[in-house]
A and B are shown apart, each in its own frame.
Chain A
Amino acid sequence: MLQSILVGLISVIGLCDYLTGTSMIQRPVVLGALVGLVYGDLPTGVIMGSSIELIFMGQMSIGGAVPVVTLAGCVAVAIAMQSGAGLEAALALAVPFGVLYSMLDNLHYILVQVFVSGMDKAAKEGDYKKYERYHWCAFGLWSLLYFVSTVICVNLGSTLVENFFNSLPAWLMDGISAGTKLLPALGFAILLNSIWNKKIAAFFFIGFVLAAYLGLDTIAIAILGASVAVLYFTLGSTELPDFSAPADSKPMLTKKEINNMFWRAFTLEASYNYEKFQGTGFGYALIPALRKIYGDDKEALAEAMSRNCVMFQTTPQCAPINMGITLAMEEEYSRNRDTMDPASIGAVRSAFMGPLAGIGDSIFWGILRTVAAGVACSLGVQGNVAAPLVFLIIFNVPAVFTRYYGAHKSYELGMNFVSKLSQYNLLENLSIAAGIVGLMVIGGMTSSMVWVSTPLVITAGDMAISVQEFLDSLLPSMVPLLTVYIMSKLLKKNIKPVVLMISALVVGVLLTYIGVL
Chain B
Amino acid sequence: MISVIRIDDRLLHGQVALLWTQTYSIHTVVIVNDKVVNDEFLKMTLGLAKPIGVELKIISVADGIAYMREQMETTRRVMVIINNLLDAKRIFDELDLPSLNFGNLRERADSARYAPAISLTSEDIEICKYLLDKGVELEIRRTPDESKTLIKKLLNK
Contact = CB atoms under 8 A, between A and B. Distances in A.
B17 A362 contact: yes
Given A355-B46, A358-B13, A432-B52, A64 B142 contact: yes
Contacts of B16: 358
A418 B48 CA distance: 9
From B15, B50, B107, B145, name the one whose CB has the most chain A CB atoms within 10 angstroms.
B145
A358 B17 contact: yes
A459 to B, nearest CB: 44
Contacts of A457: none
Contacts of B144: 494
Interface stretch (A170-178, A253-261, A402-410, A421-429): A421-429
B53 A197 contact: yes
Nearest to B108: A311
B44 interface: yes
Nearest to B141: A65
* Chain B facing A: main interface SS: loop
B96 to A, nearest CB: 23
B53 A358 contact: no
Question: Number of contact residues on B: which range applies?
Answer: 35 or more
B38 interface: no
- Among A63, A313, A350, A366, chain B packs the most CB atoms within 10 A around the CB of A63
Nearest to B144: A494
Q: Which interface class (under 10, 10 to 19, 20 to 34, 35 or more) fits A? A: 35 or more
A63 B13 contact: yes
Contacts of B22: 193-196
Contacts of B117: 64-65, 274
A361 B116 contact: no
B49 interface: yes
Interface string B114-130: 00110000000000000
B10 A418 contact: no
Interface in A469-494: 491-492, 494
B74 interface: no
A318 to B, nearest CB: 10
A86 interface: no
Interface in A272-289: 274-275
Interface in B19-34: 19, 22-23, 25
B17 to A, nearest CB: 4
Given A63-B142, A193-B22, A428-B50, A355 B116 contact: no
B36 to A, nearest CB: 9
Contacts of A428: 50, 52
B45 to A, nearest CB: 5
Contacts of B10: 63, 313, 350, 353-354, 357
Given A197-B52, A494-B23, A494-B144, A354 B18 contact: no
B42 to A, nearest CB: 5
A457 to B, nearest CB: 39
B14 A360 contact: yes
B118 to A, nearest CB: 10
A418 B47 CA distance: 11
A351 B113 contact: no
Given A275-B107, A361-B18, A435-B52, A354 B25 contact: no
A496 B141 CA distance: 13
Contacts of A200: 52
B13 A355 contact: yes
Contacts of B14: 62-63, 315, 354, 357-358, 360-362, 365
Given A275-B113, A353-B10, A354-B10, A427 B48 contact: yes
A26 to B, nearest CB: 19
B15 A65 contact: yes
A418 B41 contact: yes
Interface string A296-314: 0000000000000001011
B12 interface: yes
B156 interface: no
B43 to A, nearest CB: 10
Contacts of A415: 41
B42 A491 contact: no
Contact of A194 (B13, B19, B113, B147): B19
Contacts of B82: none
A311 B104 CA distance: 11
Nearest to B119: A275
Interface in A317-369: 348, 350-362, 365-366
Contact of B41 (A348, A361, A491): A348
A244 interface: no
Contacts of B49: 354-359
A491 B20 CA distance: 12
Contacts of B47: 355, 422
A62 B107 contact: no
A497 interface: yes
B146 interface: yes
A199 interface: yes
A232 interface: no
Give me the 10 closest cross-chain CB pairs, A-B, nearest first.
A358-B49, A361-B14, A355-B49, A354-B13, A358-B17, A354-B10, A357-B14, A65-B142, A357-B13, A63-B15
Interface of A: 62-65, 109, 193-200, 274-275, 311, 313-315, 348, 350-362, 365-366, 415, 418-419, 421-422, 427-428, 431-432, 435, 491-492, 494, 496-497
9 contacts: A63-B10, A193-B23, A200-B52, A355-B13, A355-B47, A357-B49, A358-B18, A418-B45, A494-B23
Given A311-B107, A314-B13, 10 more contacts: A63-B15, A194-B18, A199-B52, A274-B116, A354-B14, A354-B45, A355-B12, A362-B51, A422-B48, A492-B23
